[in-house]
């Protein structure tokens, strides 16, 4: 069943050169020579993205949504997906917290909800997800199974001869750019929160033929999946606020620079992942220093100093603490993982990063505390949603004077 926002005009068409029937908007907010996908260049890792990176003004990535959640209808998961797409769009408004006229760069296009639920579940079936959910022999979710011919018929895309296209073929032909999965699970059957197999580029920004990193995104590996283009998959969670889905999708943003080494230095500076070289301490960033339990590991004697203790009991101090911005789990004033409500004020260059607005061409520093993102918190609850939006809006985006827009990199 095809799902669209109310009032969207639909046009049944055939993908150029692919023979793959899909649904597209007759009138799209990203129509034009500076928008992606285009009719001829829709696939992830298309060299067109690299060649036109600096002239792309909007992106409408195509999403296929799989529903394995027996407790949710297709309309239920579509509504969740649309909320998530709206949150991603809001996060892609460059400096939207300071510029009300800023427009979204990412406008995700949820093409289709594929109903893979049980009708009805078998007697005594105790799992929230359906019997169709692919699992390994030990009961773990098996993402590789989604790429087999077993699921191709369910996706509902065919070539010119009427043969069902596999998930790899959908990525290769640009019919989709991402896969989202709703399963209702919280245990081992849950789909990976965020997982990627990413095309690798060399130090000059050129794609290395056949080279892929299958374990990016923080949610596992796709090492048995060989599609020849970047594959992106994410979990959709109806039980949590959109801030949580923003956070886990942010793991892919944090990790993609291993595949994009020519841009890694600036990225690590923004993400506060260069502390070992920037400040000569024994950790690259707070994620390496702080435990998963959320115990305090950093303190701020003043707004431009940070201090803490190593595992061996010795102390470290960074003064002046000339940081970048932060990461999904560590806003600029974080004392521990996921410390989103901290009122401590520190100096950071989130808004000024890559802008060169300071004397001498450096970045401007501004105070940051939980109050900085209070308005966004109310609109995007859970998992520090206000911070997740602010963090994304602060990334180098369209119109940055000195750095490349980060959003096209997602689909390299």
Residue 291 belongs to some domain of the structure: no
Band of residue 381 on the pLDDT scale cut at 50, 70, 90: confident
Residue 17 belongs to domain spanning: 10-266
pLDDT of residue 123: 97
Question: C-alpha 96: how far from its chain's center?
Answer: 18
Selected residue with higher pLDDT from 360 and 277 = 277
Predicted confidence at residue 125, as pLDDT, reads 97
End-to-end CA distance of the chain: 30
Instruction: Let me know if residue 114 belongs to a domain.
Output: yes
**Count of CB atoms situated within 10 Å of the CB of 294:** 14
pLDDT tens by residue, 309-368: 999 999 999 999 999 999 999 999 999 999 999 999 999 999 999 998 898 889 999 999
pLDDT at residue 20 is higher than 60: no
What does the pLDDT read at residue 379?
A: 86
Q: Which of 5-19, 64-78, 308-322 is predicted with the least confidence, judged by mean pLDDT?
A: 5-19
**163: which residues sit within 8 A by CB, 6+ positions away?**
none
Domain membership flag for residue 301: no
Q: Is the pLDDT of residue 196 over 60?
A: yes
Q: Looking at per-residue confidence, does 14 or 317 come out higher? A: 317
Mean pLDDT of 181-195: 96
Per-residue model confidence (pLDDT) at position 375: 87
Strand ranges (E), 237-340:
299-302, 305-309, 315-318
Percent of the chain with pLDDT over 90: 86
H-type helices in 131-209, by residue range? 149-155, 167-172
The b/e string for 329-363 (b: 16+ C-beta within 10 A; e otherwise) is bbbbbbbbbbbbebebbbbbbbbbbbbeeeeeeeb
Q: Would you say residue 141 lies in a domain?
A: yes
Q: Is 320 part of any domain?
A: no
- For residue 130, being part of any structural domain is answered with yes
Domain membership flag for residue 307: no
Provide the domain count of the chain. 1
Q: Is the peptide bond before 100 cis (omega within 30 degrees of 0)?
A: no
pLDDT tens string 114-155: 999 999 999 999 999 999 999 999 999 999 999 999 999 999
Instruction: Identify whether 299 is part of a domain.
Output: no
The reported pLDDT for the residue numbered 399 is 85
Q: pLDDT band for 22, please (50, 70, 90 cuts).
A: very low
Model pLDDT for residues 73-103, shown as the tens digit of each residue: 999 999 999 999 999 999 999 999 999 999 9
Residues 201-247: pLDDT tens digits?
999 999 999 999 999 998 899 999 999 999 999 999 999 889 999 99
Question: What's the pLDDT at 21?
Answer: 30
Task: Give the pLDDT band (50/70/90) at residue 377.
Answer: confident
pLDDT band at 33 (very low <50, low <70, confident <90, very high): low
2 pLDDT more than 90? no
Strand partners, 58: 35
Q: Which of 86, 87, 103 is nearest to 389 (CA)?
A: 87
pLDDT of 14 > 80? The answer is no
pLDDT at position 5 is 31
pLDDT of residue 18: 31
- Of the two residues 370 and 3, the one the predictor is more confident about is 370
Asked if 272 contacts 327 with a C-beta cutoff of 8 angstroms, the reply is: yes
């Amino acid at each position: 069943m095809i799902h669209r926002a109310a009032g969207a005009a639909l046009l049944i068409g055939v993908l150029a050169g692919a023979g793959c029937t899909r649904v597209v908007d007759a009138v799209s907010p990203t129509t034009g020579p500076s928008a992606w996908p285009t009719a001829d260049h829709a696939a992830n890792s298309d060299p067109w993205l690299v060649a036109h990176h600096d002239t792309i003004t909007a992106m409408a990535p195509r999403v296929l949504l799989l529903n394995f959640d027996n407790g949710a209808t297709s309309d239920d998961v579509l509504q969740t997906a649309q909320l998530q797409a709206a949150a991603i769009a809001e996060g892609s408004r460059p400096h939207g917290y300071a510029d009300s006229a800023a427009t979204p760069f990412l406008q995700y296009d949820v093409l289709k909800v594929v109903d893979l639920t049980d009708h009805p579940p078998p007697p005594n079936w105790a799992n929230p997800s359906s019997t169709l959910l692919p699992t390994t022999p030990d009961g773990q979710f098996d993402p590789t199974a989604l790429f087999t011919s077993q699921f191709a018929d369910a996706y509902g895309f065919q070539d010119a001869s009427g043969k069902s296209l596999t998930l790899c073929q959908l990525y290769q032909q640009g019919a989709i750019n991402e896969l989202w999965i709703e399963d209702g699970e919280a245990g081992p059957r849950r789909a990976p929160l965020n997982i990627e197999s990413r095309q690798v580029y060399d130090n000059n920004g050129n794609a290395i033929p056949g080279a892929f990193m299958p374990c990016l995104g923080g949610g596992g590996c796709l090492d048995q999946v060989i599609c020849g283009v970047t594959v992106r998959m994410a979990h959709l969670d109806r039980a949590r606020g959109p801030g949580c889905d923003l956070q886990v999708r942010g793991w892919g943003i944090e990790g993609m620079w291993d595949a994009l080494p020519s841009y890694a230095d600036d990225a690590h500076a923004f993400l506060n992942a260069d502390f070992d070289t920037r400040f000569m301490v024994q950790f690259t960033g707070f994620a390496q220093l702080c435990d998963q339990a959320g115990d305090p590991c950093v303190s701020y004697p003043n707004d431009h100093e940070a201090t803490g203790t190593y595992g061996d009991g010795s102390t470290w101090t960074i003064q002046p603490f000339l940081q970048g911005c932060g990461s999904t789990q560590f806003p600029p004033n974080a004392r521990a993982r996921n410390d989103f409500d901290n009122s401590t004020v520190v100096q950071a260059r989130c808004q000024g990063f890559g802008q060169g607005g300071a004397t001498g061409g450096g970045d401007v520093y501004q105070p940051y505390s939980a109050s900085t993102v209070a308005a966004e918190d109310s609109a995007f609850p859970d998992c520090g949603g206000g911070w997740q939006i602010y963090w994304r809006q602060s990334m180098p985006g369209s119109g940055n004077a000195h750095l490349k827009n980060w959003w096209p990199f997602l689909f390299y």
